[in-house]
Amino acid sequence: GQNIDQPTEMTATEGAIVQINCTYQTSGFNGLFWYQQHAGEAPTFLSYNVLDGLEEKGRFSSFLSRSKGYSYLLLKELQMKDSASYLCAKPGAGSYQLTFGKGTKLSVIP
Amino acid sequence: ETGVTQSPTHLIKTRGQQVTLRCSSQSGHNTVSWYQQALGQGPQFIFQYYREEENGRGNFPPRFSGLQFPNYSSELNVNALELDDSALYLCASSLPSGTAKNIQYFGAGTRLSVL
């Protein structure tokens, strides 16, 4: 199966750090994606992890533990424009058809 | 801007009608995937096209069908529309499976309302 679980909503303060977790079934692992989606807009690519560890890209970092079926997205120095849904997605075994979690709606407050 | 364009942006149909949605992929991308996103949910995979052939299908009935053209643009057709078909339909283009990362780049979507 491809069950992907992530929290439904999170709230954080401008300037703070927030961690959005994602757990998935480890069978047929082929990498893990994070996308950002503002309301009414297209999902935009943030990161792709295939090996264990932390990958940093500016204010955003993504972590993966393949043995635990666990990933997180870390957002630093939060800005109001970071208010969006964050989607965790996993390609299917032997294919690149993405299965998405339901998304985590992040609200950044002043 | 991902270079993936979809049309129309919004559409209203009535139950039982048919609809065609269109997508132009990013230059150099020959694989197109379609997703349905209900309100408050993550996108759900409908099907993928590679070199004008269907290359995988999600759990959607046959009344959801598609085409890919030689220029890699694509259409999604839905027959006998139902109220539950109301959703945002997203198109994503990518390089072929097996290419490094194979990142999918999404268009802004078509918002379909079925009344």
pLDDT, mean of residues A35-64: 94
Q: For residues A30 and A92, is the Cβ–Cβ distance under 8 A? A: yes
Mean pLDDT of B10-30: 93
C-alpha to C-alpha distance for A40 and B40, rounded to whole angstroms: 11
Does the pLDDT at position B37 exceed 60? yes
In order of A5, A38, A85, B82, the CA distances from A82 in angstroms are 21, 9, 9, 35
Touching B: A residues 6-65, CB under 8 Å? 31, 33, 35, 40-45, 48
Q: pLDDT: is A92 or B33 the higher one?
A: B33
Instruction: Check pLDDT > 60 for residue B100.
Output: no
Share of chain A above pLDDT 90, in %: 79
Give the pLDDT score at A58: 94
B98 confidence band (pLDDT: 50, 70, 90): low
Measured CA to CA, the distance from residue A93 to residue B97 in angstroms comes to 11
User: What's the rounded mean pLDDT across residues B33-37?
Assistant: 96
Q: What is the mean pLDDT of residues A54-72?
A: 95
Q: Which residues of A touch B111 (CB under 8 A)?
A: 40
Q: What is the pLDDT of residues B39-92, one digit of tens each?
A: 989 999 999 998 899 988 999 999 999 999 998 899 999 999 999 999 999 999
Hey, are the CB atoms on B4 and A96 less than 8 Å from each other? Answer: no
Are B112 and B90 in contact by the 8 Å Cβ rule? The answer is no
Kindly indicate the confidence band of residue A1, based on its pLDDT and cuts at 50, 70 and 90.
Answer: very low
**Which of A41, A96, A101 lies at the smallest CB-CB distance from B42?**
A101
- Higher per-residue confidence, A26 vs B85: B85
Q: What is the mean pLDDT of chain B?
A: 91
Mean pLDDT, chain A, rounded, equals: 92
Given a cut of 60, whether residue A79 has pLDDT beyond it is: yes
With CA atoms as reference, the chain A residue closest to B36 would be A100
Name the interface residues of B facing A (CB cutoff 8 Å).
2, 4, 31, 33, 35, 40-45, 48, 55-56, 58, 90, 92, 94, 97, 101-109, 111
What's the gap in Å between the CA of B101 and the closest CA on chain A?
A: 7
